[in-house]
């Protein structure tokens, strides 16, 4: 079997925060490679830097030193506007608290990233409807987030994450706010995305059950990869 290409290459990555003249080092000289079609779980205690690492991979934060290449692009070199465009095309996000826009319907929330593309209204509708079927929420498409359960909201968020067919999907504690049954549904869905659609998923989690679904688990502690 052919070796899958590397999708994420991280070299010698460091990041620290400054707060009240104190410097807190979050990540120290991290190097990590993630292959295409991987389902990676990053685990570690609070404050270990796993969310920061995820943010750096997703291009919503910038490293102090080191490089992050995603799909062959060194994202640290991109300007703010280029980075935004890059995220729109290459990254799908799943958050712990779903982060749906409360004033938009499920359909519109999923459609949101497509507004940044050149697709026509008709094409956008087709894409959104496909995604709605995939997460099994077609009959709830006109509901607002406030009218959906936690698990349903997270499934909408997953549909939103895959709607642009991104290079990677990053998930920050996707089951952290869900009951066990909903969590199971969400994890099954992510598993299907990975196995059936070949999506690369990077997930930060505390939850051992969530980590079980992943193909690879890496531990982070005090800013160092174990």
Partner 1 sequence: MLSAILLSYSFRNLMARRLTTILTSLGMALVVFVLASSLMLAEGLEKTLVETGSADNVVVIRKGATTEVLSGITREQAAIVETQPEIALGAEGQPLLAREVVVLITLQRRGSDKQSNVVIRGGREQSLRLRPKVKLVEGRLPRPATAEIIVGKNIARRFKGCGLGETLRLGLQEWRVCGLFDAGNSGFSSEIWADVDQLMQAFRRPVYSSIIFRLDKASEFERLKADIETNPRLTLEVKREAEYYAEQSKWMAKFLRILGASLTVIFSLGAVIGAIITMNAAVATRTREIGTLRALGFRRRDILLAFLLEAALLGFLGGLVGLFLASFLQLVTISTTNFQTFSELTFSFALSVKIACQALAFSLIMGLGGGLFPAFKACGMNIAEALRAG
Q: Which stretch binds partner 1 (CB under 8 A): 37-45, 58-66, 193-201, 214-222?
A: 58-66
Q: How far is the CB of 133 from partner 1 (least distance, A)?
A: 22
Residue 22 within binding range of partner 1, rule CB under 8 A: no
Residue 61 within binding range of partner 1, rule CB under 8 A: yes
Q: How far is the CB of 109 from partner 1 (least distance, A)?
A: 10
Strand partners, 32: 10
Distance between CA atoms of 153 and 144, rounded to whole angstroms?
Answer: 9
Q: How far is the CB of 4 from partner 1 (least distance, A)?
A: 26
Residue 24 within binding range of partner 1, rule CB under 8 A: no
3-state secondary structure the chain: CCCCCEEEEEEEEEEEEEECCEEEEEEEEEEEEEECCCEEEEECCCCCCHHHHHHHHHCCCCCCEEEEEECCEEHHHCCHHHHHHHHHHHEEEECCCCCCCCCCCHHHHHHHHHHHCCCCHHHHHHHHHHHHHHCCCHHHCCCCHHHCCHHHHHHHHHHHHHCCCCCEEEEECCCCCCCHHHHHHHHHHHHHHHHHCCCEEEEECCCHHHHHHCCEEEEEECCEEC
Q: How far is the CB of 178 from partner 1 (least distance, A)?
A: 18
Q: How far is the CB of 199 from partner 1 (least distance, A)?
A: 17
Q: Give Cα separations from 43 to 29, 85, 121, 208 (angstroms).
A: 18, 29, 40, 9
Residue 224 within binding range of partner 1, rule CB under 8 A: no
When binding is defined by CB under 8 A, the residue of 6, 35, 36, 60 that contacts partner 1 is: 60
When binding is defined by CB under 8 A, the residue of 6, 76, 78, 89 that contacts partner 1 is: 89
Closest CB to partner 1 among residues 31, 82:
82
When binding is defined by CB under 8 A, the residue of 48, 52, 153, 205 that contacts partner 1 is: 52
162, 132 contact by CB (below 8 A): no
Closest CB to partner 1 among residues 92, 151:
92
Closest CB to partner 1 among residues 24, 116:
116
Closest CB to partner 1 among residues 5, 47:
47
| Interacting residues with partner 1 (CB under 8 A) | 52, 55, 58, 60-61, 80-81, 84-89, 91, 93, 95, 97, 99, 101-104, 112-113, 115-116, 160
């Amino acid at each position: 079997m052919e070796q899958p290409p590397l999708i994420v290459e991280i070299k010698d990555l460091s990041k620290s925060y400054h707060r009240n003249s104190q410097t807190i080092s979050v990540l120290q000289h991290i190097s990590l490679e993630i292959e295409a079609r991987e389902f990676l779980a990053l685990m570690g205690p609070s404050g270990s830097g796993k969310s920061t690492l995820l943010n750096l991979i997703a291009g919503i934060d910038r490293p102090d030193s080191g490089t992050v290449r995603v799909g062959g692009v060194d994202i640290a070199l991109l300007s703010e506007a280029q980075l935004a465009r890059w995220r729109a095309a290459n990254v799908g996000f799943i958050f712990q608290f779903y982060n749906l826009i409360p004033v938009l319907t499920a359909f519109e929330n999923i459609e949101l990233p497509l507004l940044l593309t050149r697709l026509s209204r008709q094409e956008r509708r087709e894409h959104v409807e496909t995604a709605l079927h995939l997460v099994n929420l077609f009959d709830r498409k006109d509901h607002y987030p406030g009218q959906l359960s936690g698990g349903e909201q997270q499934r909408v968020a997953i549909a939103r994450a895959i709607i642009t067919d991104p290079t990677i999907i990053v998930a920050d504690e996707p089951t952290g706010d869900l009951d066990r049954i909903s969590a199971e549904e969400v994890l099954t869905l992510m598993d299907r995305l990975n196995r059936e659609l070949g999506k690369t998923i990077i997930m930060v989690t505390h939850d051992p059950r969530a980590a079980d679904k992943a193909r690879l688990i890496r531990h982070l502690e005090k800013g160092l990869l174990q």
